């Protein structure tokens, strides 16, 4: 029985019908708030119910805790964003006996998986397993054994027989024992791609969420009682019973609204000394830190700050990379077994699969990013190797001798200033006019005004960069921020370079027309 038939759709390619069929039966669950009246006893009852293999209530509870606990929501979103930001690839297995076949399979499978219209969504969905204990995706296979779409079913629609390990589809998200209830449909092995984690984060976070809620409630009561110091009114002496009654009414109105009139001689005191120390803010902060520790494997205390210094920030970043790399490896292995290997078998029937799916590399540098990095490196006084830059960009790079390209981006270790090499090191002080490029060409003199105009336009920006490079290490971050903030003001509203560039283009265009006319005359002769 294929996945579409399990959820009640006859056409396996009807993606919208898949989503509709999944949501039609369990719409009642969306209208139920599992957090209303929730306490630790009820949470334990829901937990015990899940031990029978029915996950409807506990998964719906996890979903809502993730939505309403701001710290947990941040952790879920940060790890999901990190997973989606990873690059995926299909590579030949290093131990493959046939390298040519392995490379061919890697290219073919990579092309096939690239046609899945929601692969990033599938990766993000599988990442929920680290918080909820498990997550499933269901590839929608076509007649050729390929995948164009992946269905993302909700966790509360699944049950599992704790004895056999067989997963069941629970369309109504109702309570039922797997293998006993007729409303639970067994799912054949191989229909789902599954990630399971034996120690999900959401269960201990749910208990923290309950404690945190109680702490915030007590905090609110504390503020209500002691946030505004209570007023104590002492009535004047010698009042009659009737006057005492009126005094009490006036005093009550005064204390409730801090406005009103009381008889002459009334003494007013504010109980400022009774407020004491606020213990609840520290309690709530501690609970939030526990959530972050659980969500990051007990290693990070903050996802919003990188640390108190460079070393602390780098240490936390290293830990964060380890967490994301581990998540990517686990999800990549699941997608390799459940999707990539099957696609490879469909494309190369009867042959062993010599490639594998990997998820875990950081996103590849785009050509635009590489060129932008080269410009920034040059502005900071560094030069990228031309061959390495060409590899990153994806096409060959040649020196621009027309003087219009950004100067000094690359030259295999030699800086280029409008086509003329500038050697870094012992010969750095050599005059540019006397230097000759490797190919023997020299910079046209007509380009000198453009270079001088560009240097004048960027002089103030260069001064800012030089100030950053000369700053002490402890002041480097502040100096860089100040330079970035001031940089827009350093750029002239009417750059001289723009006018020189326009004139150079016009001159070159005119020269080109003149040469074309001369060639035409020679042809006519």
The domain ranges of the chain are 3-204+322-360, 367-524
The residue ranking higher by pLDDT, 275 or 243, is 243
Report CA-CA distances (Å) from 506 to 171, 316, 494, 499, 520.
Answer: 71, 54, 19, 11, 21
Per the DSSP assignment, residues forming a β-bridge with 185 are 169
pLDDT of res. 480: 77
Alpha-carbon span 67 to 76, nearest angstrom: 10
The residue ranking higher by pLDDT, 282 or 71, is 71
**Nearest alpha carbon to residue 158 among 138, 139, 136:** 136
Given a cut of 80, is residue 24 above it in pLDDT? no
Per the DSSP assignment, residues forming a β-bridge with 269 are 232
Given a cut of 70, is residue 40 above it in pLDDT? yes
pLDDT band at 301 (very low <50, low <70, confident <90, very high): low
* Angle at CA of residue 104, ends 101 and 107, nearest 5°: 150
| Token duo for residue 455 | 């240097």
Given a cut of 80, is residue 68 above it in pLDDT? yes
pLDDT band at 226 (very low <50, low <70, confident <90, very high): low
Q: What is the mean pLDDT of residues 450-461?
A: 77
**Nearest alpha carbon to residue 399 among 382, 384, 417:** 417
pLDDT of res. 143: 86
The model's pLDDT over 396-420, given as tens digits with 9 standing for 90+, comes to 777 655 544 444 444 444 333 333 3
pLDDT of res. 103: 94
The model's pLDDT over 173-218, given as tens digits with 9 standing for 90+, comes to 888 888 788 889 999 999 999 999 988 888 888 888 887 775 555 5
pLDDT band at 6 (very low <50, low <70, confident <90, very high): confident
Given a cut of 60, is residue 71 above it in pLDDT? yes
Alpha-carbon span 411 to 398, nearest angstrom: 9
Given a cut of 90, is residue 2 above it in pLDDT? no
Least confident range from 7-21, 254-268, 453-467: namely: 7-21
* Angle at CA of residue 479, ends 477 and 481, nearest 5°: 70
The model's pLDDT over 73-117, given as tens digits with 9 standing for 90+, comes to 888 998 898 898 899 999 999 888 999 999 999 999 999 999 999
> Residue 344: helix, strand or coil by DSSP?
helix
In sign, the C-alpha dihedral spanning 31, 33, 37, 43 is: positive
pLDDT of res. 315: 54
pLDDT of res. 304: 45
């Amino acid at each position: 029985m294929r996945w579409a038939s399990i959820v009640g759709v006859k056409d396996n390619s009807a993606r919208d019908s898949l989503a509709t069929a999944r949501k039609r039966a369990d719409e009642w669950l969306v209208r139920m708030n599992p957090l209303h009246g929730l306490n630790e006893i009820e949470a334990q009852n829901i937990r015990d119910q899940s031990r029978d293999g029915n996950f409807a209530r506990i998964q719906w509870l996890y979903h809502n805790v993730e939505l309403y606990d701001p710290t947990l929501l941040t952790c879920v979103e940060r790890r999901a964003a990190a997973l989606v930001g990873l690059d995926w690839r299909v590579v030949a297995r290093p131990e493959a006996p046939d390298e040519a076949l392995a490379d061919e399979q890697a290219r073919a499978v990579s092309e096939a998986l690239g046609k899945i219209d929601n692969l990033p969504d599938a990766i993000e969905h599988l990442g929920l397993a680290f918080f909820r204990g498990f997550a499933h995706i269901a590839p929608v296979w076509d007649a050729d054994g390929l995948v164009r779409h992946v269905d993302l079913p909700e966790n509360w629609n699944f049950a599992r027989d704790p004895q056999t390990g067989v997963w069941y589809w629970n369309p109504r998200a109702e309570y039922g024992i797997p293998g006993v209830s007729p409303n639970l449909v067994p799912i054949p092995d191989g229909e789902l791609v599954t990630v399971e984690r034996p120690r999900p984060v959401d269960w201990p976070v749910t208990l923290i969420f309950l404690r945190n809620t109680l702490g915030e409630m007590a905090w609110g009561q504390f503020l209500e009682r002691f946030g505004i110091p209570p007023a104590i009114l002492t009535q004047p002496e010698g009042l009659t019973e009737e006057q005492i009654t009126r005094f009490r009414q006036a005093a009550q109105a005064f204390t409730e609204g801090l406005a009103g009139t009381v008889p002459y001689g009334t003494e007013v005191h504010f109980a400022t000394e009774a407020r004491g120390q606020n213990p609840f803010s520290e309690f709530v902060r501690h609970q939030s830190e526990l959530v972050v520790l659980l969500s990051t494997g007990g290693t990070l205390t903050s996802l919003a700050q990188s640390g108190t210094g460079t070393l602390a920030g780098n240490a936390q970043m290293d830990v964060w990379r380890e967490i994301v790399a581990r998540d990517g490896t686990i999800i990549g292995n699941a997608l390799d077994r459940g999707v990539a290997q099957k696609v490879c078998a469909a494309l190369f029937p009867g042959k062993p699969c010599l490639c594998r799916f990997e998820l875990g590399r950081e996103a590849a540098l785009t050509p635009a990013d590489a060129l932008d990095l080269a410009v920034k490196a040059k502005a900071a006084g560094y030069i990228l190797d031309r061959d390495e830059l060409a590899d990153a960009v994806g096409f060959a790079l040649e020196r621009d001798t027309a003087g219009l390209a950004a100067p000094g981006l690359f030259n295999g270790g030699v800086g280029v200033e409008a086509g003329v090499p500038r050697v870094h090191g012992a010969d750095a002080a050599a005059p540019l006019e006397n230097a000759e490029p490797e190919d023997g060409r020299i910079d046209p003199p007509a380009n000198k005004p453009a270079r001088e105009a560009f240097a004048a336009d960027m002089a103030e920006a260069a001064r800012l960069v030089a100030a950053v490079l000369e700053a002490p290490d402890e002041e480097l971050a502040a100096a860089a921020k100040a330079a970035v903030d001031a940089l827009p003001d350093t750029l002239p509203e009417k750059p001289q370079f723009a006018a020189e560039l326009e004139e150079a283009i016009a001159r070159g265009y005119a020269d080109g027309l003149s040469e074309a006319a001369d060639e035409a005359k020679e042809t006519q002769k």
